[in-house]
Amino acid sequence: MADNREMRYSGGKCLCIDVGGSAVKYGIIDRDLNLTDKGEIPTPHEGVEPYLLALESLYRKMKDQVDGIAMSVPGVIDSENGICISGGNLRFIEHFNLAGEMARRCEVPVTVMNDAKSAAMAEARWGSLSDCRDGIVIVLGTGIGGALIKDGKVHFGKSFAAGEFSFLTLGENLDEQGDTWAGRAGNPRLRRLVANAKGIEDPDEINGYDVFKWAEEGDPLVLMALDQFTRSIAHMIVNLQIIYDPDRFAVGGGISRQPLLLEYIKKNLDYFYTQFKWPGQNADVTTCKFFNDANLIGAYSYFLSRFGKED
């Protein structure tokens, strides 16, 4: 059969897949960005073959409706060649040509894109950063995903790892995960702070909905925990603003839907800027327009850039 990069796309609908740590989300997107047939299945963790079979089953269910597959996946991804250099917590998929294998099985063109870079591509093209030349996307989850937008395009870096904010070190102890930005600003820390505040022994007993429900109710200890959590996010935004001087930041991830999150990030930014004077522009921060659908829509944007006729 033809090489994936030589396959033709008829311009019809595309099956978009977003692989997360616990669930694989999917939907069909057309050229007008209508997202339909949304659903999700559990993410297989048993190995390469169960993983591929699960992804292939989604295509088989939709094959009469779509002419291509656009994937958003965790890890460092060589999107140009469709290779998962690393797989995040899906270690079994490392150094694997995922796009090529899926194209072989499904006989349609396939693209693979890092999940945070997918979100950034959606926001840069159609979302909160569409009027910006340069921007930064920060995706809050178990870790801290991210991407740099330069001249309206996602910056990949020499080894496709630009924007892997989880690994930014905040102290001298490089052997301690707590000294990385993921350790200080990943969702597990927010749950841990709130659990401690509420006297809950196991942080896994609560989720983001619990946290923001208590915060909306005005629980003073939960609000203090949220303030502490967002302080480290605001601190890093100040540093990134100084390094890159972007037009705007867009914050994504599931908890970005909660208005209090952005409110507290901005509150901490306002305080930092009263204490720290510098001659450049203060950070302009908003939320991602597409929230949880950003990865699906961004994967589709990358697919169009490879196989579609650009508008």
- DSSP state letters, 202-230: -GGG--HHHHHHHHHTT-HHHHHHHHHHH
CA distances to 25, 223, 230, 231 from 227, in Å:
31, 6, 5, 6
Query: What DSSP designation does 44 have?
Result: P
Q: How far apart are CA 188 and CA 204, in angstroms?
A: 8
CB 4 within 8 A of CB 100: yes
Which single residue is written with the structure tokens 């979100």? 119
pLDDT tens-digit map of 95-121: 999 999 999 999 999 999 999 999 999
Q: According to the model, what pLDDT value does residue 1 have?
A: 41
Q: According to the model, what pLDDT value does residue 231 have?
A: 94
Query: What DSSP designation does 183 have?
Result: H
Q: According to the model, what pLDDT value does residue 300 have?
A: 96
- Return the exposure string of 123-158: e unless at least 16 CB atoms fall within 10 Å of the residue's CB, then b: bbbbbbbeebebbbbbbbbbbbbbbbbbeeebebee
pLDDT tens-digit map of 19-74: 988 899 999 999 899 999 999 999 999 999 999 999 999 999 999 999 999 999 99
Q: How far apart are CA 198 and CA 146, in angstroms?
A: 31
Q: How far apart are CA 225 and CA 301, in angstroms?
A: 37
Q: According to the model, what pLDDT value does residue 311 have?
A: 47
Q: How far apart are CA 13 and CA 122, in angstroms?
A: 17
Which single residue is written with the structure tokens 């924007």? 163
Point out the residues of the chain with pLDDT beneath 70: 1-10, 173-178, 309-311
CA distances to 107, 119, 210, 233, 287 from 216, in Å:
49, 27, 10, 20, 19
